Amino acid sequence: MAKMKAIEAVAKILELEGVTKAFGVPGAAINPFYAALRGLGTIEHVLARHVEGASHMAEGYTRANPGNIGLCIGTSGPAGTDMITGLYSAMADSIPILCITGQAPRARMHKEDFQAVDIEAIAKPVTKWAICVMEPAQLIGTFQQAFHIMRSGRPGPVLIDMPFDVQMAEIEFDAEAYQPMTAYKPAANRIQIEKALTMLNESDKPLLVSGGGVINANADKQLTEFAELVNVPVIPTLMGWGTIPDDHALMAGMCGLQTSHRYGNANMLASDFVLGLGNRFANRHTGSVDVYTKGRKFVHVDIEPTQIGRVFCPDLGIVSDAGAALDLFLEVAKEWKAAGKLKDRSAWVAECQERKRTMQRKTNFDNVPVKPQRVYQEMNKVFGRDTTYVSTIGLSQIAAAQFLHVYSARNWINCGQAGPLGWTIPAALGVVAADKSRNVVAISGDYDFQFMIEELAVGAQFKLPYIHVLVNNSYLGLIRQAQRGFDMDFCVQLSFENINSPELGEYGVDHVKVVEGLGCKAIRVYKPEEIAPALEQAKKLMAEFSVPVVVEVILERVTNVSMGVEIDAVNEFEELAEKGVDAPTAISMLD
């Protein structure tokens, strides 16, 4: 076997495990690893401006394509603690990313050395595994185990902390003898599938709920095929949006308190049976358990055993990878169809389709300043079926989910449970880094945009082009709307008169100047009819300069977006669509 520095073996293992891209910030304690990356020469590095940004770039990179595992790098001190938010976000959404940190030498770890912190202990609650490797020879097995853990069962992040002297030590390593470990994925058995299919077949108004686990399993095609085979409508969760195309006859809308369609909630409330596949029954999808479960039976299929029954006890729980379960569902359903055992669902499907046709929200507002609904209407006109949308949290994301259209898995890339502000820019850059041929469009409110705006410089430096639609009402809009229940509007206004940009009035930060200062392009629009031309111009600028292009739309200061505390009590604050002209880009026309 060959003798080499332990950190050189680590770099080679990353290559053998399929890593081709890394996001990070060098530092003294991690410089040995950077030297190993430089020597290896096969892993491209993207230099972030903030280490939290690097972790979100790694998330975006993982979420972009099946099999990807994003890598983020920093020191164990402030860099490691900065990456905690990214680890939390990845853990919450079952996203495998690998965080590597450089630690003080072993002899100084307990002596309050510069930037030495117990990052293992800090990271444990937000990772599948966090470890500080104290023996150089254990690095090989540790990294082998890390990839096995990230890929097995419910995917998730891992942090490996390496003391400086552990990195520098010499060990024996035979790269030719290294082999990645086979990931463990639980799979349903035929008895379970037959019981679940029997319950579905006995129901009158069944639905499939398709979650992020279907995307993680790369099983969207099986999901759609199964829905077509049994002729049962599908309710995707926000994390599962795209597992069935929005314009598919069996796409019954999203259900929930915020990121939902009117017809999605209505179809859920009319159902009598739900087969959940790879979903969490998260509270913003369900609202209260009593309302969500009343009058219907549930089968829950999930890869994580402890997820079954976490929110409520289903009538049948099946521990399985969503793809493995769908393969068996298809096998049994095909047999049953050939035998004439599957129930005719045409009347129920027609009922759901009629709700989809008639229960639309209005988008065609001509107001100046612009109403947000109009922004998404114009985006639907300009951006095609292959567009990948990236967003995180806020009224901008909620409205995007209500009005945009998604046609493929991984074309809606969203931070679900954690929802950290600032996520959108670095995540979008990570998606583009994974595939520069993708048509990527990010959506942010002004506060999310300002949180990590410095990462736009990464897009300029490394030529990572995408379009960023920035809807600016100079408010923490979602929190302002939530404060209505407390009869206040407190500490949520971002407005001020910018002495350097008086033309903005009270809209405060001049995003165009900041974006241009970071090396990117920006366009500002004030009127509805300016939006589509600006988006078309953004496409040309992006192609010409290969940098992020921001299109800022100045919104009316206050808009209350549809939401509520129960799926049967969503408040509609604006006019509803009564005819086709009210919602000209709706997925299903009113007339």
Using H for helix, E for strand and C for coil, what is the string for 357-410?
Answer: HHCCECCCCCCCCECHHHHHHHHHHHCCCCCEEEECCCHHHHHHHHHCCCCCCC
Q: For residue 456, what pLDDT band results from cuts at 50, 70 and 90?
A: very high
Instruction: Return the pLDDT at 185.
Output: 96
Catalytic one of 25, 139, 299, 429: 25
15, 284, 394, 490, 562 from 486: Cα distances, Å: 54, 20, 19, 10, 18
The residue-averaged pLDDT of 164-193 equals: 95
- The encoded tokens of residue 409 equal 């898995």
Whether residue 488 has pLDDT greater than 90:
no
Query: For the chain, how big is the Rg over CA atoms in Å?
Result: 25
Catalytic one of 51, 234, 342, 515: 51
The residue-averaged pLDDT of 184-209 equals: 97
Span 2-177: which CATH code? 3.40.50.970
Which one is predicted more confidently, 580 or 88? 88
Give the right CATH number for 190-359 from 3.40.50.150, 3.10.290.10, 3.40.50.1220, 3.30.460.10.
3.40.50.1220
Q: Is 479 assigned a catalytic role? A: yes
190-359 matches 372-561 in fold = yes
pLDDT, tens digit, 9 for 90 and up, residues 9-33: 999 999 999 999 999 999 999 999 9
574 DSSP assignment: S
Instruction: Return the pLDDT at 370.
Output: 95
Q: For residue 477, what pLDDT band results from cuts at 50, 70 and 90?
A: low
Instruction: Return the pLDDT at 475.
Output: 80
Instruction: Return the pLDDT at 271.
Output: 97
**Contact 390/427 with Cβ under 8 angstroms?**
yes
pLDDT, tens digit, 9 for 90 and up, residues 252-276: 999 999 999 999 999 999 999 999 9
The residue-averaged pLDDT of 581-585 equals: 89
Q: Is 51 assigned a catalytic role? A: yes
| Mean pLDDT of all residues belonging to the chain | 93
Instruction: Return the pLDDT at 492.
Output: 79
Q: For residue 416, what pLDDT band results from cuts at 50, 70 and 90?
A: confident
Which one is predicted more confidently, 446 or 590? 446
Give the right CATH number for 372-561 from 3.40.50.920, 3.40.50.970, 3.90.1150.10, 3.90.1530.10.
3.40.50.970
pTM for the model stands at 0.94
Q: What is the dihedral of CA 506, 371, 260, 573, to 10 degrees?
A: 90
Q: Is 476 assigned a catalytic role? A: yes
Catalytic one of 382, 479, 512, 514: 479
pLDDT, tens digit, 9 for 90 and up, residues 232-254: 999 999 999 999 999 999 999 99
Instruction: Return the pLDDT at 1.
Output: 61
The residue-averaged pLDDT of 434-457 equals: 95
Which one is predicted more confidently, 114 or 142? 142
The full set of domain ranges for the chain reads 2-177, 190-359, 372-561
Placement of tokens 């990772």 in the chain: 127
Instruction: Return the pLDDT at 393.
Output: 86
Burial tier of 137 (Cβ tally within 10 Å: 0-12, 13-18, 19+): middle
Whether residue 4 has pLDDT greater than 90:
no
Q: What percent of the chain has pLDDT over 70?
A: 99
- In this structure, of 107-111, 116-120, 269-273, 579-583, the range with the lowest mean pLDDT score is 107-111
Catalytic one of 139, 140, 421, 541: 421
Instruction: Return the pLDDT at 481.
Output: 78
Catalytic one of 160, 476, 523, 547: 476
The residue-averaged pLDDT of 361-377 equals: 94
